[in-house]
Amino acid sequence: MAKLLGRNMQIFAGEYDFSGELNSVSLSLVNETADITTFGNDNRQRLPAGIVGGEISFSGFYNSSASAIGEQISSLLSASAVYGLYPNGASLMDYGKEIVGILDDYSIQGDVGNAIALDSKIQSTCVVLDAVSVGFVSSSVFTTNIQS
């Protein structure tokens, strides 16, 4: 796979496309393995299969216009949603990652001399999935999950 520039990256939150409002995004994956070390062991012992999870963090510029990120992100605070991250865009057959998650951190910062910024974090509530875009329909991306 080719190395990519971040300028084509797209991030979707439920039915919303946040790409035009953001300038930084990261996806962290984690495999939480259970520690089963007992007395007398010289080394840590862990169960081989853990709980896979992840987190998407993003930041950008606050926009309070109707149907912009300020309004859209507020509607996501109360429920879980599907969040998709597509490093090379979300045209037909582009690959990405999706999580079902909960927006658990949202902040807005600003000062007199700069644009108002926002930061947010989504915690996954299930396995992080590989996904392939099957294109845009009604301004949202539809994906099909690929078995990892």
| Per-residue model confidence as pLDDT tens for the chain (148 residues) | 567 667 777 888 877 888 888 888 888 888 888 888 899 888 888 887 777 788 888 898 988 887 788 778 877 877 788 888 887 766 655 777 888 888 888 889 998 988 899 888 888 877 667 766 555 433 334 444 444 4
pTM above 0.85, yes or no: no
Contact at 8 Å (CB) between 140 and 17?
yes
Dump pLDDT digits (tens) for 109-126: 998 988 899 888 888 877
Q: What is the pLDDT of residue 127?
A: 65
Q: What is the largest CA-CA distance in the chain?
A: 62
* CA gap 128, 103 in Å, rounded: 15
* CA gap 84, 81 in Å, rounded: 10
